[in-house]
Amino acid sequence: MMNFGPDYVRAIAPYQGGKPIAEVAREFGLDEANIVKLASNENPLGIPESSQRAMQQAFAELARYPDSNGFDLKGAISKKFDVPTDWITLGNGSNDILELAARALVQPGQSVVYSQYSFAVYPLATQAVGARAIVVPAKNFGHDLDAMAAAITPDTKLLFVANPNNPPGTIVGGEQIAAFLKQVPSSVVVVLDEAYTEYLPPELRYDALAWVRQYPNLIVSRTFSKAYGLAGLRVGFGIAQPGLTDLLNRIRQPFNVNSLAQAAAVAVLNDDAYLQKSAQLNADGYRQITGAFTQMGIEFVPSYGNFVLFRAGDDEGAGARVNLELLKKGVIVRPVGNYGLPQWLRVSIGLPNENAAFIDALKAILG
Ligand SMILES: *Cc1c(COP(=O)(O)O)cnc(C)c1O
């Protein structure tokens, strides 16, 4: 058979997402209404009403292309985060920003540094451009920033840090990141992926945008998919100084963020009540789920995101086995064998009744 494309593309293992509800219903003969999906770190509150209203208004204009410069959305981001609009790159999800960074900055054969047990899109973005991955061993499931700085080689062009990290939910403190940024050579671009930053309690917050002002080699990425509740619309953004931002904008698709997504994102950016409710629901759900883990003697990694990594058992088959049993009971969580964590599963924090359904199912399975 003819082998199309470069070897490095054929070597890519496709991204494994959370199973859709409809698929689980078909496979296991269940009623969709009884299925609980806690697999993709989505916001259990559902789409914000403010965004729904904005989308209804945008509907009438859908025959037209979206605003390729995202004037309103960049304006809203600029105002909320106090950054100039020419520091902002809009993305089709923040995934898009991660990929744009790899495509804009890295050539085949050069290297990209990221941590073991960090986001699955980093290896994908790295491999897609034919780059070499330098995967730095994790420390207590989280980023070992000193080791990451030490792992940089002369051909390293890009480095990814997820804070909080996914799937473990770990964080590194602001002071550690500040010290790390000082160590990274100015020729290496750092992407600080802050997909879950809105969930951090006030005492753990830090000002990443101050670092963007200081470092021309830093991109901070944010998403509307988690705390803002717009995962299905695909919208995120990167903030960097104009030099880097200009590069990313040169290679993005001109209409990478659709009109409904732009309208919805503007609305929710001004909807502080939704964001606060998301954070509160998440904090309560975290206590509910981890309280049950503690009671059941289940090991888990303390998490700062909207999900928890927990140990399903001791053998290599434990994650897959417990995952299957949960699916049979209509509970969808995320297996993390592809992250090298076959004994573990990741559960997203849902509504109180969804968390309870997960806990009940787990109790029934593990006895
Ligand atoms: C969910 C997630 C993202 C965001 O993905 P979107 O493309 O914005 O939906 C980015 N980084 C990490 C670490 C994530 O977990």
What element of type H or E holds 81? helix 71-81
How many helical (H) and strand (E) elements, i.e. helices and strands, does the chain have?
Answer: 14, 13
Q: Cα 69 from chain centroid?
A: 24
Q: Which of 43, 121, 308 to mutate to test the pocket of ligand 1 (most atoms within 8 A of CB)?
A: 121
- Which CATH superfamily groups domain 9-38+273-366? Aspartate Aminotransferase, domain 1 (3.90.1150.10)
- Is the separation of the CB atoms in 164 and 196 below 8 Å? yes
Side-chain-facing half-sphere of 69: CA atoms under 13 Å:
6
With bands split at pLDDT 50, 70 and 90, how would you rate the model's confidence at 38? very high
Minimal CA–CA distance to 87: which of 257, 250, 244?
244
Residue 296 C-alpha to ligand 1 middle, in angstroms? 30
Pocket of ligand 1, beta carbon within 6 A: 41, 93-95, 119, 162, 166, 193, 195, 223, 225-226, 231, 236
268-295, pLDDT tens digit by residue? 999 999 999 999 999 999 999 999 999 9
Of 92, 166, 194, the residue with max ligand 1 atoms within 8 A of its CB, to mutate for a pocket test, comes to 166
Pocket test for ligand 1, best of 94, 114, 198 (most atoms within 8 A of CB): 94
How far apart are alpha carbons 327 and 20 in whole angstroms? 11
Cis peptide before 137 (omega within 30 of 0): no
Q: Which helix (H) or strand (E) holds 215?
A: none
Domain 49-269, what architecture? 3-Layer(aba) Sandwich (3.40)
Q: Ligand 1 atom 6: the closest Cα is on which residue?
A: 93
User: What is the Å distance from ligand 1's center to 67 Cα?
Assistant: 23
Tell which atom from ligand 1 comes closest to the C-alpha of 164.
13
Instruction: Output the CA 195–ligand 1 centroid distance in Å.
Output: 5
pLDDT tens per residue across span 111-167: 999 999 999 999 999 999 999 999 999 999 999 999 999 999 999 999 999 999 999
What is the Å distance from ligand 1's center to 223 Cα? 7
Sheet of strand 111-115, all strands in order from the earlier edge strand to the far edge: 88-91, 236-239, 218-223, 189-193, 156-162, 111-115, 132-136
For residue 1, name the pLDDT band (cuts at 50, 70, 90): low
| Position 41 confidence tier, pLDDT thresholds 50, 70, 90 | very high
Whether omega for the bond prior to residue 167 falls within 30 degrees of 0, making it cis, is yes
3 — pLDDT class (breaks 50, 70, 90): confident
pTM comes to 0.96
Domain map (residue ranges) of the chain = 9-38+273-366, 49-269
In the DSSP assignment, the letter for residue 216 is T
Nearest atom, ligand 1, residue 40 CA: 1
Report how far ligand 1's centroid is from the alpha carbon of 18 (Å): 13
Nearest CA to ligand 1 atom 10: 195
Q: Give the pair of three-digit tokens for residue 131.
A: 């780059």
* Site to substitute for ligand 1 among 100, 118, 119, most atoms within 8 A of C-beta: 119
Q: How many CB atoms lie within 10 A of CB 33?
A: 8
